[in-house]
């Protein structure tokens, strides 16, 4: 079965399902009942965990996503903030020209950290965006996609490793 036949089959199945509109209504009611009514105690528990501890136990389901997005958020705030100085690795003298150059380099390093963590924390979403464009083009495009994905991943890890390298330089 090729792609066009598969798409025709999907459309035919959708037309057949339109006859059974009541199933969609049933499942909508079912999801509402189970997601909001029966899960209310669990959502209440998570609410109080977030208020008391600052996080709830759902954060552990995907800790890389949770921590990565928090780091990205804090780095963006740090970058936008009007900071008082430049870390020592970026300013070797008290010359104004050297300080401005160091400030520019420091801003670039912070942006690299943001880009690296943003990719690593959200790589599933980003890769799905690329994958949607690639999968119809054939095997060669898919192989190229995986090579590019590996390159993007290595670049993101290199950028995110700057966070560890300059960790003690993240001050105001």
pLDDT-derived band at 3 (thresholds 50, 70, 90) equals confident
Reduced to 3 states (helix: H, G, I; strand: E, B; else coil), residue 118 is helix
Cβ contacts of 127 within 8 Å, gap of 6 or more: 149
Q: What is the pLDDT of residue 74?
A: 95
Using an 8 Å Cβ cutoff, are 53 and 109 in contact? Answer: no
pLDDT digits 0-9 by tens, 99-108: 888 889 999 9
| Residue ranges per structural domain of the chain | 58-169
Task: Give one word for 56, left, alpha or beta, with left for phi > 0 and alpha for psi -120 to 50.
Answer: beta
Taking the whole predicted model, whether its pTM rises above 0.75 is answered as no
Q: For 74, how many CA atoms within 13 A lie in the half-sphere containing its CB?
A: 12
Using an 8 Å Cβ cutoff, are 156 and 120 in contact? Answer: yes
């Amino acid at each position: 079965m090729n792609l066009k036949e598969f798409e025709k089959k999907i459309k035919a199945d959708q037309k057949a399902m339109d006859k059974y509109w009541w199933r969609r209504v049933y499942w909508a009611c079912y999801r509402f009942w189970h997601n909001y009514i029966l899960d209310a105690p669990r959502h209440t528990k998570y609410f109080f965990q977030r208020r008391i501890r600052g996080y709830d136990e759902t954060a552990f389901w995907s800790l890389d996503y949770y921590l990565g997005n928090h780091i990205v958020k804090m780095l963006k705030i740090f970058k936008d903030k009007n900071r008082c100085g430049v870390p020592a690795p970026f300013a070797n003298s008290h010359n104004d020209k050297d300080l401005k150059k160091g400030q520019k380099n420091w801003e670039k390093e912070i942006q690299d950290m943001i880009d690296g963590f943003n990719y690593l924390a959200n790589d599933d979403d980003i890769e799905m965006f690329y994958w949607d464009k690639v999968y119809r083009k054939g095997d060669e495009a898919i192989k190229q996609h995986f090579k590019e994905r590996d390159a993007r991943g290595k670049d993101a890890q290199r950028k995110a490793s700057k966070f560890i390298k300059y960790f003690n330089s993240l001050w105001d």
